[in-house]
Chain A
Amino acid sequence: MTIVPGELHVPIEGEADIVTARQKGRELAADIGFSSTEQTIVALAISEIARNIVSYAQCGEITFARVDDGVRRGLLVVARDRGPGIPDIDLAMRDGYSTARSLGIGLPGAKRVMDEFDIQSEPDQGTTVTMKKWLP
């Protein structure tokens, strides 16, 4: 898989940046050729992972890039923070689980709607969520 040059970085420093992140992600998804429905789904998943940064780590960054694996083209979204990390990822990925004031549906929901989803977290080192959506 190659990452097409021209990555886009959106700093997440407060809740207002959640809106910016999902708008930038949607614009790139539209450029790549995703349908309006798929753009909305991608924007929603971005909103959830951006909110996760604001709720648990206060600040971080989301990077958007075009990807190409030779056969398919798609969108790569990487959300990084240097927050406290997630002590139990399996638990965090369970529907309905939340330690902040949320529905606990954000991360598992985002995983459900994206084609690929990976989460890495180290205590006191931070959390990185990597997700991809391929053009159908």
Chain B
Amino acid sequence: MPVPILKQGDILIASIQSALSDRELVELRDSFSDQIGRFRSRGVVVDVTALDVLDSFATRTLRGIAHTARLRGATAVVVGIQPEVAFAMVQLGLSLEGVETALDLEEGMALLNGAGTADDDRAR
């Protein structure tokens, strides 16, 4: 099942709800690239909270999403990497170097809106 992409202002949000096959991940990358142009989006958020594993292919595709977004004039943020998923990635030697990350959707949106963190927002 393809991942639905929601549009909120000039930000695109993809919330991954279940384990994705390689093909679905690649489709997500391609639809982001297409929709950034169609909606003139500045930012994309990929919410991976529901994913219980990020392997080398998923990591590489997320980097692909981020780099493609950058080339299309937008910024991508990966949000919601779970603690054990992060730990396993580190153990295996996988990284998301060059990719913006944030704790959750709220922090990711704050990052894209140039507001620093959601905590800064609340303090204001």
Residues of A whose CB lies within 8 Å of any CB of B are: 15-16, 18-19, 22-23, 26, 36-37, 39-41, 43-45, 47-48, 51, 95, 102-103, 105-106, 108-110, 112-113
Contact = CB atoms under 8 A, between A and B. Distances in A.
If over half of A's interface residues share one DSSP class (helix, strand or loop), that class is named, otherwise mixed; here it is: helix
Contact of A37 (B53, B57, B87, B94): B87
Contacts of B22: 15, 18
Given A15-B23, A109-B94, A43 B53 contact: yes
A109 B85 CA distance: 14
B53 A110 contact: no
Contacts of A110: 92
Contact of A45 (B19, B54, B84, B92): B92
Nearest to B26: A15
Contacts of A37: 83-84, 87-88
A12 to B, nearest CB: 13
Interface of B: 19-23, 52-57, 59-60, 83-85, 87-89, 91-94
Given A15-B23, A37-B87, 17 more contacts: A19-B19, A19-B21, A22-B55, A39-B84, A40-B52, A40-B85, A40-B88, A43-B88, A47-B55, A48-B55, A95-B93, A103-B59, A103-B60, A105-B56, A109-B92, A109-B93, A109-B94
B93 A105 contact: yes
A26 B23 CA distance: 22
A15 B21 contact: yes
B23 A44 contact: no
Given A15-B23, A18-B21, A19-B21, A113 B88 contact: yes
Given A105-B92, A109-B92, A47 B84 contact: no
The 9 closest A-B pairs by CB, nearest first: A109-B92, A47-B55, A40-B84, A15-B22, A37-B84, A40-B88, A41-B88, A44-B88, A19-B19
A56 to B, nearest CB: 14
